[in-house]
Amino acid sequence: MSGFDLSAILGNPEYAAMLLHGIEMTFIIYAGSWTLAMALALLLLAVRLSPFRFGDPLVAAYVSYHRNVPTLVQLMLWYFGIFTLMPNGVATWLASHNAEAIFAVIGLGLCQAAYFSEDLRSGVRSVGPGQMEAARALGHGYVSAMRFVIMPQGVRNALPPLINHSVSLFKNSSLAVVIGASELTHAVKEIENLSFRTFEIYLIGTVLYLFFSLVIMSIGAYLSMRADPARSARA
């Protein structure tokens, strides 16, 4: 094998296309699972905050399961386990619609919802009770007080852990390779098998992951900076 040569991979149209497809799939899985996770987290938060107590233990159990079982095991349970239990029609439909990616989105999204909902809950909890009382005294209903007074402050408090967990969700999207989704790590391993240029392709894969993680981190840093009330007061 000859020496270090990045162009052997990047200059090869076949490999470049595989890499691009991998990046695309990684972002589809990431965007899908992030959206699912955030929607579900808001739902779980609403159950937790509602005056009805009977939902609380269910949410607590949900969070506890998803935080204490390794993400990889959750993905395997979905893809190797639950997939086989589904009725035939659903299973064939899924199999012809990229089931690996769909289960990666479901598995990662449900798992991450537990983390997001806990982040949001501690953010909302750190908003003092006086805020709710003041908003109600000013004539807001419960929902409108939540919408305009509590949630904006709560989400702002929850931003740092939400950003951390958004980054780790991006990194966890690489786990989808284990259930066979054709995302970036999958493309890296495929190209390694075809080209035998292990060092070069791992380097490209690592730099890509690092780059996108840093992009997500800096978007997060920008959002927290904008949300900082002390700063917006100065501006």
d(CA 60, CA 63): 5
Bin 52: left if φ > 0, else alpha if -120 < ψ < 50, else beta: beta
What is the end-to-end Cα distance of the chain in Å, rounded? Answer: 58
Q: Kindly report the number of other CB atoms within 10 A of residue 206's CB atom.
A: 11
Whole-number minimum distance, CB 205 to other proteins, in Å?
6
Our finding on whether 172 is near other proteins (CB under 8 A) is yes
d(CA 79, CA 104): 8
Size of the site for other proteins (CB under 8 A): 44
Our finding on whether 128 is near other proteins (CB under 8 A) is no
Residue appearing with tokens 């939902």:
55
Our finding on whether 122 is near other proteins (CB under 8 A) is yes
Our finding on whether 154 is near other proteins (CB under 8 A) is no
**Whether 183 contacts 18, CB under 8 Å:** no
DSSP code of 93? H
Our finding on whether 68 is near other proteins (CB under 8 A) is yes
Using CB under 8 A as the binding rule, the residues of this chain from 2 to 61 that contact other proteins are none
Our finding on whether 195 is near other proteins (CB under 8 A) is no
**Which one among 93, 148, 196, 199 touches other proteins, defined by CB under 8 A?**
199
The residues binding other proteins (CB under 8 A) are: 64-65, 67-74, 76-77, 80-82, 84-85, 118-119, 122, 160-161, 164, 167, 171-175, 177-178, 185, 188-189, 198-199, 202, 205-206, 209-210, 213-214, 217
